[in-house]
Amino acid sequence: MNPTTDEPNGPAERMRVEALAAALARHGVGECRLAIVLGSGLKSFGDVLEDRTEIACADLPHWPVPRVEGHGGSVVIGTVAGLRVVCLTGRVHRYEGWSVGDVVRGVRAVRRSGVPDLLLTNAAGGIRESFVPGDLMQIEDHLNLAGANPLVGPHEDAFGSRFVDQSEVYHRGLTARLASLDPALKRGVYVGILGPTYETPAEIRMFRTLGADAIGMSTVLEAMAAHAMGARVVGLSLITNHAAGVTGARLSHDEVVAAGTEAEGRLHQLVTGFCRSLAADPVDD
């Protein structure tokens, strides 16, 4: 499909989300307890699910198909350590030309089909000077500097209330549970920007002054859209590089990808532990 051009809120977008949610529900997504958006470094997590069903994004109505070479993205439903989960691979970004509605449609549809919790993962640059590549940071809060908001447009009750409280976008109970599983886990504020360029050192100094610890080009819009629909959201960043100016080294996408691949095992372990913990002892509100 081509990027949609209307606003991310409103009847046309609601109809797309409902059609997609109905298709997902036919594959049993409604029985999943957790949806996981797989960012860089976790892409292969869908392969380890037991009892799995994989649906190509291209076979789902209104699902934006990533334009990355060789990988159209898919939805994988299965079981991890006793927990029924749905994994979304093939996230799309606004810097590729996709609209805000396209970017958040997948998380809205899984929420609409009944999944209560959402884990968003991403690759991020470390702004805090003590962060090193390979660190994992759980997102305690975010700065939305992506220049957009998923709730813009004619109001649709199905997507949340008109003015949504943002005091706790990342669910405290789920975040505390994740933290309890890995003593080395860092915590901090993620700033979401549009991209696709990396930042200048002056911009990174500005973001640090504003309170950001890590930076990336995804996650905030998905978190806001899912939270508005009542999902309990938890966010996890893999620090793949020092942000611009922190060490003076130039940033390269290849290094970001390589750091992601290197940390894959630890990320798998943490997410599997999170699933095991939720299966054994659900987090109540």
The only residue of 78, 125, 160, 188 in contact with ligand HPA, by rule CB under 6 A: 125
23 catalytic? Reply is: no
The residue type of 230 is G
By CB under 6 A, residue 9 contacts ligand HPA:
no
The DSSP-derived string for 118-153 is EEEEEEEEE-STT--TT-EEEEEEEEEESS--TT-S
Based on CB atoms, which residue is closest to ligand HPA, 244 or 278? 244
By CB under 6 A, residue 207 contacts ligand HPA:
no
CA atoms within 13 A on the CB side of 106: 34
- Let me know: does 8 contact 102? Beta carbons within 8 Å: no
Judged by CB under 6 A, the number of residues near ligand HPA is 13
By CB under 6 A, residue 267 contacts ligand HPA:
no
Binding characters for ligand HPA, 94-123, by CB under 6 A (x = yes): -----------------------------x
- Catalytic residue of the set 109, 123, 124, 223: 123
Cα radius of gyration rounded to whole Å, the chain: 18
By CB under 6 A, residue 144 contacts ligand HPA:
no
By CB under 6 A, residue 217 contacts ligand HPA:
yes
| Angstrom distance (rounded) from CA 264 to CA 62 | 30
Residue 122 pairs in a beta bridge with 237
Minimum CB separation of residue 243 from ligand HPA in Å reads 5
| Angle value at C-alpha 144, between 3 and 16, nearest 5 degrees | 30
User: Distances from the Cα of 40 to the Cαs of 123, 141, 216, in angstroms?
Assistant: 5, 20, 11
Catalytic residues: 40, 71, 93, 95-96, 123, 217-218, 241, 253
Residues that bind ligand HPA in the complex, under the rule CB under 6 A: 123-125, 198-199, 215-217, 240-241, 243, 251, 256
